[in-house]
Amino acid sequence: MSMPFYVSPEQLMKDRADYARKGIARGRPVVVLAYDEGIAFATENPSRALHKVSEIYDRIAFAAVGKYNEFENLRVAGVRYADLRGYSYDRTDVSARGLANAYAQTLGTVFTTESKPLEVELVVAEVGATAEEDQIYRLSYDGSVADERGHVVMGGQAEQIGARLSQDWQPGMDLSGAVRLAVQVLGLQPEGEPRVIPPDQLEVAVLDRTRPRRAFRRLPAAMLTDLLPTQVDDPPPAPSHPAEQG
């Protein structure tokens, strides 16, 4: 019988983290940013059925990058968690913080105990009565949580896009301004001119604090066409890619 090689815990964790990070960086970025009447989510996603941004509860939404089957599973778990909590207590007792904690424990446990970490990164956002009460939590593959203010980027080129957002995002932007900025930064490329992403290749949704109960709403392509500036030249053909890469 051969002896297994000794692998130090540091090396083991580092390998897992590298593995997860590589998987996440392959996906297309998701941008989450606050505007005056809520929180907007945008990503490039040609599919109309396989979403990366979804409703969890009345005031809570979920956005993810990474492996579709893994984050879809977490999304369903989140809906069940929220509905169960709302049913056992009251609808007002369901909070993004509780959900973020449950996700963090799940991601953390999988990262340390299972053979493969989840290759996902999540945002759980809750819209409050005012912009100051909005909450945006960003969760990583290892279960770490960050309480973000204003804007978040996940997925490929997150650093480049994040830097641009910190420069151009301001509190109190209106919806069209926020969506325009989001689409603009999604088109950034590591080198060369930024791409112009056509509205039918975009998945955009908002948590709108002015809506009575369920704040989540998807913005259809027709509405995006009105919000976005008219494009002067033909956009380059969007590369086809499976939702798995999302």
Partner 1 sequence: MPPENSDPSGRLPLAFTATGNASFLDFLAAHAPGMLPIGRGLPVGEVPASPHGTTIVACSFEGGVVMAGDRRATMGSMIASREIEKVFPADEYSAIGIAGTAGLALELVRLFQLELEHYEKIEGTLLSLDGKANRLATMIRGSLGLAMQGLAVVPLFAGYDLDRRAGRIFSYDVTGGRYEEREHHSVGSGAVFARGSLKKLWWPGMTPSDAVRTVLHALVDAADDDSATGGPDLARRIWPVVATVTAEGYRRVDDDALTAAVVEVESARRATGATGGDQR
Residues contributing to the site for partner 1 (CB under 8 A): 49, 51, 54-56, 73-74, 76-77, 79-81, 83-88, 101-103, 105-106, 108-110
Q: At closest approach, how far in Å is the CB of 1 from partner 1? A: 32
CA distances from 214 to 51, 220, 241 (A): 18, 17, 32
Q: At closest approach, how far in Å is the CB of 140 from partner 1? A: 15
Question: Measured from the CB atom, is 182 or 205 closer to partner 1?
Answer: 205
CA pair distance 180, 188, nearest whole angstrom = 13
Question: Measured from the CB atom, is 123 or 181 closer to partner 1?
Answer: 123
CA distances from 23 to 11, 120, 128, 212, 235 (A): 18, 8, 33, 38, 28
- DSSP symbols for 126-147: E--SSGGG-EEEEE-TTS-EEE
Q: At closest approach, how far in Å is the CB of 109 from partner 1? A: 4
Q: At closest approach, how far in Å is the CB of 35 from partner 1? A: 24
Q: Which one, of 157, 164, 207, lies nearest residue 184 by Cα?
A: 164
Q: At closest approach, how far in Å is the CB of 63 from partner 1? A: 15
Q: At closest approach, how far in Å is the CB of 84 from partner 1? A: 5
Question: Measured from the CB atom, is 83 or 148 closer to partner 1?
Answer: 83
Question: Measured from the CB atom, is 35 or 62 closer to partner 1?
Answer: 62
CA distances from 94 to 33, 52, 120, 173, 240 (A): 22, 22, 23, 27, 38
End-to-end Cα separation, the chain, in angstroms: 43
Question: Measured from the CB atom, is 86 or 177 closer to partner 1?
Answer: 86
Q: Which residues contact 206 (CB under 8 A, 6 or more apart)?
A: 35, 38, 39, 40, 41, 175, 216, 217, 219
Question: Measured from the CB atom, is 109 or 225 closer to partner 1?
Answer: 109
Residues 124/81, Cβ–Cβ less than 8 Å: no
